[in-house]
Amino acid sequence: MHVSEETLSSRTVARLTLPFPWIPERAAPLAEIVLERRPEATLTYLEDGITLRVDLLDPLEPPETLVQRARDPQPGTVALVAGDVPLEIRGELRRNQVSFLDVDGAAEFFWPRLRSSHSRFTDAHIERRTPAVTLRGAHARIVQTLLATWVDGERFGSATELADRAQASEATTSRALHKLASHGLIELISDGRSHSPRIVDAPALAGTLLREAGWPAKELYHGYRYGRDATERAGALSDSADEHGVVLAVTGITAARALGVLTTAPPPRLKVWLDLPPSEIALAMRRLEVDPVEPDESNCVFAVDRYRFGTLGRRRGSAAGWMAHPVRVWCDVHDEPRGPDIAAQMWNAFT
């Protein structure tokens, strides 16, 4: 089976072939990799055609053995732990940058020119024995606060401090942290009777936040506000919001540009989070001098910040006014024109 040109995208880096019956029979594109079932286990880089043999490691071997074998591959090979990968060893594999692919679809790849993380890679009909990390309400704020602290170069002294900053209860924070630790995304460092979280796999944690709590598809309100460009509208909206006591945060491409990310075209619409219940949105838009219009006539779109992660950690910019935290901006640009490229620039700045 050959991968068609339609299957490939500008982001595709390599083709991975594996002989397992649970691998998709049809070529499956996902981010940088195209996966397909073939008799041989190979990794082929599409840019130069270099093909490496994939050394398949048994997930039932001791983790220290897997780490050692992955660190010392034979010439012309890369290592992959493949099969029924126990949940409890995935964190150690991630920490040691050992690639793995589980039958439930969880995958991490740490190969030359390739770093990729996925929660479901294989056929959709396969029932997961281990559910993906889900984030609801306060859990999303907790993950975003963890990532924001990591981006800002800070650390939490305790889970209690994290709970306070994430505006979540200590019990909810504790449950969220233990869930993330069980999936190998963070570590809980013991300090006497308290524990402080440390991010183990920032890309995977950020991917979870994006998947579970990205820019919403519902509770959106479209409007039109006069202004020369999106940045000017953002600044004017922020000034009006301060005057009327409205809590908002500009996000998406407009905020990314204000943060110094280079873009080739202005955003089609200004994206704004509003920390208000839906019943108060219409009044707030009037106070912000925004006329309600149909989506195709709008130059602003407002999202209800029901769980307060859009405005959490917002900061006052210069021309663009109140902006969401860069981690939230990173999440919110993905569905805009050239959004993945802008998000990649932002991530490179983070790391």
Using CA atoms, how far apart are residues 349 and 5, in angstroms rounded to an integer?
A: 32
Within 10 A of 291 (CB to CB), how many other CB atoms are there?
14
pLDDT value of residue 11? 67
- Residue 241 one-letter amino acid: A
Structural domains of the chain in order of their starting residue, each with its CATH number: 14-118 (no CATH), 138-213 (1.10.10.10), 220-350 (no CATH)
Within 10 A of 231 (CB to CB), how many other CB atoms are there?
22
pLDDT value of residue 282? 92
Residues recorded for the chain: 351
Q: Is 29 exposed, middle or buried (0-12, 13-18, 19+ CB in 10 A)?
A: middle
pLDDT value of residue 6? 43
Using CA atoms, how far apart are residues 16 and 40, in angstroms rounded to an integer?
A: 10
Handedness of CA 94, 96, 99, 102 (dihedral sign): negative
pLDDT value of residue 351? 74
pLDDT value of residue 125? 41
pLDDT value of residue 131? 46
pTM for this entry: 0.68
Strands 14-18 and 33-37: parallel
pLDDT value of residue 132? 58
Instruction: For residue 5, give both structure tokens.
Output: 């040109």
Mean pLDDT for back-to-back runs of 10 residues, the chain (351 residues):
47 87 76 85 92 93 92 91 86 88 83 77 43 77 94 86 92 90 82 80 86 90 92 94 96 92 82 94 94 94 93 87 96 90 88 74
